[in-house]
Amino acid sequence: MPREQADADACLRPDFVSGDLLGQCAASLGFAPPTTAPSCIASTLNVPNLTVASATVVAAAAPFPEFCEVTGAVATSGEGYGPGSAQFEVALPVNWNGRFLFLGCGGNCGSLSLTSLATNMVDGPEALPLGYAVVFTDAGHEQDPTTPDLTWAVSETGVVNMPAIIDFYYRAVHQVTVATKQYVEAYYSQPIDHAYFDGCSTGGRQSLMEGEHYPVDYDGLVAGATALGSAHFREAKAFIPTLAYIPYSTLAQVDTAVKASCDALDGVADGLIQNPAQCSFVPSSLVRGGVLTASQAAALQSYITRETDPSGAPVNPGMPISDLSTAGFEGFVELSTPAPDPTAAEPWGARVSGPVPGDRSTPLSAPLSKRISRLTSTMTGP
C-alpha cells in the first residue's frame, strides 16, 4: 500500500480511548487544497462511526455568513461501558479559516443548540462569521424538556443507563470531537490548523475533562464556571425509580423530624441545624410513623449517604438532610417573608449583618448557608 494511502487510512481511523493522534489528522499528512467549493450533501465522507441525517445550505443572514449545517450522530463505545449514540450539529462556513471550535453544552445537555446560535451563545455568533467550523453535541442523550429530572439516566424502574451517563461525563465529547474533526477535514480537503473547545458550566467541566484525559484533542481550552457537582445524578438515582419519589407535601414533615433530632446538637434549639456533622438522622425512622414508605426512606438514605470508591476512599460527601422543603430540593422555592431576626446572635455569640428588619425585599434564605455548612463540614470532618 502506498505511504500516502496508509497515512490517509490512519487519519480516518479513530482512537476513541487513549486520545493520541491516530484518527486526528495532523497537518503533516499534506492534504491538497480543494479546487472547487465543498458540496453540502448528506454524506458521511467515509468518516467511521459517524452517520449524517441532513445537510442544509443556510443562506447568509447578518451576522452569519452562508454555511452548510450538517446534523448526524456518532456511535460511542468503550471506557468499560456499552455502546451509545451522541447527536451532533456542525456549521461549515463557505470561507473557512482552518479552525475548529467545539462549543460545550450547559445544564443537563440533551439538546442541540446550533439552531439558536444567534441567541444563546456569545462566542458562537462571533466564531462563525470569522470562519470557524463550529460543532455542538447533545452529549449522548435527549433531555425531556418538560422536566429537570434525569429520566434518561435512571428509568422509573430504577435501571441506571451507564452508557448515557459516561457519554455525558466525557465519552461523547471526545468521540464526537474525533469524528467531527475528521469530517471537517474531509469536507474541506485540508487539515485543521487549530482546534479549540469553549464551554461554561457543564461545558466548562467538559473542557477540563478534555484537557485532562485527551490533551491532544485541542490546542486551546476555555473552561468557564465549571460544574463539577453530581447532586442531580444522586437525586435521579435515588428518587426517579417507581415508589421512591417523595412528594413535596411530605417534605415539611421530614424537616420537622430532622430538626427534632438534630437542632439542639449545636447547643441551641433555634430551628437551625448549625452542627450538621453531628446529625445522624436515620430516614427509616419515619417509616414507623407513616411519614415515608420503606422505598422513600431507602431513597432518602441513599441520597444523604457518602459514596466511596472500591478502595473505600470518599468521592462524594452525601447530600444535606435538612430544610428539604425550602432549600430547592424539589424545584425552586422563593421565600416571600424576611427572616424574623436576621441580625440575631449566633449560638457562639457573634452577630451577623443582614437586611433591615421589616424590609420585605427578596431575602437570602438561611437554608443555603446550612447546605454549604453541611457540605463543608462533611468534606473536612473526620
Q: How far is CA 47 from the centre of its chain?
A: 27
- 332 against 380, higher pLDDT: 332
In terms of Cβ atoms closer than 10 Å to its own Cβ (0-12, 13-18, 19+), residue 326 is: middle
- pLDDT score at 260: 93
- 67 against 319, higher pLDDT: 67
User: Which cell numbers in the block locate residue 371?
Assistant: 447546605
Is 99 in a helix, a strand, or coil? strand
Residue 222: beta bridge partners?
A: 198
Alpha-carbon distance 342 to 366, whole Å? 9
- pLDDT score at 2: 47
Summarize pLDDT for 76-114 with one digit per residue, the tens.
999 889 999 999 999 999 999 999 999 998 888 888 865
Q: Which of 20-34, 153-167, 322-336, 339-353 is least confident?
A: 20-34
Q: How much is the average pLDDT of 322-326?
A: 85
pLDDT exceeds 50 at position 211: yes
The amino acid at 228: L
- pLDDT score at 178: 94
Q: How much is the average pLDDT of 235-254?
A: 82
Please report which residue ranges of the chain form alpha helices under DSSP H: 3-11, 117-120, 123-127, 162-166, 172-188, 202-213, 231-239, 248-262, 285-288, 294-304, 366-380
Specify whether the CB–CB gap between 99 and 128 falls below 8 A. no
Alpha-carbon distance 187 to 92, whole Å? 9
- pLDDT score at 378: 30
In terms of Cβ atoms closer than 10 Å to its own Cβ (0-12, 13-18, 19+), residue 250 is: middle
Nearest to 283 by CA among 252, 242, 254, 324: 254
Q: Say how many CA atoms lie within 13 Å of 9 toward its Cβ.
A: 6
Residue 154: beta bridge partners?
A: 160
Give me the chain's average pLDDT, please. Answer: 77
- 326 against 336, higher pLDDT: 326
Q: Which of 134-138, 147-151, 220-224, 302-306 is least confident?
A: 147-151
> Which run of H or of E encompasses 194?
strand 194-200
pLDDT exceeds 90 at position 217: yes
Is 78 in a helix, a strand, or coil? strand
Summarize pLDDT for 154-170 with one digit per residue, the tens.
776 777 888 999 999 89
- pTM of the prediction? 0.68
CA 141, 143, 148, 152 dihedral sign is: negative
Nearest to 161 by CA among 186, 143, 182, 180: 143
- pLDDT score at 38: 82
List of E strands, 118-193: 133-137
Phi, psi dihedrals of residue 102, rounded to the nearest 5°: -105, 120
Domains, the chain, ordered by start = 3-228 (3.40.50), 232-338+364-380 (no CATH)
- 310 against 123, higher pLDDT: 310
